[in-house]
Each structure stands twice: as C-alpha cells, then as structure tokens.
Amino acid sequence: MFKGLGIENKDFSISIEDASYNDSCLRTLKENLSLSTKLILDGSLFHVRCCAQILNLLMQDGLSKIKVIIFNVRKIYINHNDFRLKAFCDVVEQKHLKDRKLIIDCPTRWIFTYQMLLTALKFKIAFVAYKEKEPHYDYALSLKDWNKVEKDCKLLKVFNLVTHNFKK
C-alpha cells in the first residue's frame, strides 16, 4: 500500500478513529510494515491511544468500583410499562420538574453513565414520590444510595470537564 504511494520509507504516524474494529487492522498493518521496514523502537509506539480514550478507559475502570450503584440506578428507570411510565410522568408533573425525559446509559461510554446518574438526581424527588404512590415498585434507592450517587456525580463532573477540554 505505502510502496504504491511512494511513501514506504517516509511514514512516521497514522491517525485513525479509536474503535475496537480498528485494533485488528492496526495489528495487520504493523505486521506488514514490520516485514518490509524497520519500525521505530520495534513498533512499540505504533499504536498510542489519544488522551480522551485513555481517560475513557480509566473511567470505565473507576466506574466498575461503583457498579452496584449504577446497576441500582438502571433498575429504578421506568421505561417499559406504559401504565408505570404514565404514573411516573404524572408524579414528575405534580412535582413541577422541568426535565421530562429519563436518560439510560450506554455502558461502554462513561459520559453517558454520568449523564444517567445526573438525570436520576434531577428526578430524585419524583422517584421517591413514585415509590410512595406505587407500593409494588421495588426498585427505589435508599437515602444512602442517593447520597452515593450525588457524591459520585461531583467527582465525575471533574472528569467530564477534562474530557471536554481534551476535545477542544
């Protein structure tokens, strides 16, 4: 590929989107380049993740430490039963909450998990009131759980700001 372009001895770096399907492409490219050219530092710097991706991986690891809280927040979301959703929306309206939509996360992106936790906090009053109204609703968070969500969101906010600065 590089020979055809006349750059086989001139390549130093290649930038690609950091997606899992690119890992096999990078591995194949590195193997092919290793056969025909001498890679700098034997290819140890061939694939270096960007700062935002490194932070994403670190955050995924960190979120694993609070996975029970995240699991519990996912459980409280009411989105599968029309009657329950209508009843929850009624509670949201009664409590005069501005936000109307619950956000469920995408487990592979920590920022979506952070947004889910933030949204849950905005609806905390509604979740508590809904539990009082619906005795069969078994997924309410305890006061201790809500305090953990609040504390975790304060910490995650800092990393959210860092991520946005990386993207600038």
pLDDT band at residue 2 under the 50/70/90 scheme: low
* Percent of the chain as helix, strand, coil, to the nearest 5: 65, 0, 35
b/e code 10-31 from CB counts within 10 Å (16+ = b): eeeeeeeeeeeeeeeeeeebee
Separation of alpha carbons 15 and 11, rounded Å: 11
The pLDDT of residue 163 is 84
The pLDDT of residue 160 is 92
**What's the pTM value of the predicted model, to 2 decimals?**
0.71
For residues 95-99, average pLDDT: 85
Residue 83 backbone phi and psi in degrees, to 5: -65, -45
For residues 143-155, average pLDDT: 95
For residues 109-123, average pLDDT: 93
Separation of alpha carbons 7 and 17, rounded Å: 22
Taking only the tens place, the pLDDT of each residue in 26-73 is 777 777 666 666 666 666 666 556 777 788 888 999 999 999 999 989
Task: Please tell me the number of Cα atoms within 13 Å of 5 on its side-chain side.
Answer: 7
Taking only the tens place, the pLDDT of each residue in 17-27 is 666 667 777 77
pLDDT band at residue 94 under the 50/70/90 scheme: very high
The pLDDT of residue 19 is 62
pLDDT band at residue 116 under the 50/70/90 scheme: very high
Q: Is the pLDDT of residue 103 over 60?
A: yes
Which amino acid does the sequence have at 92?
V
Separation of alpha carbons 62 and 163, rounded Å: 15
The pLDDT of residue 86 is 85
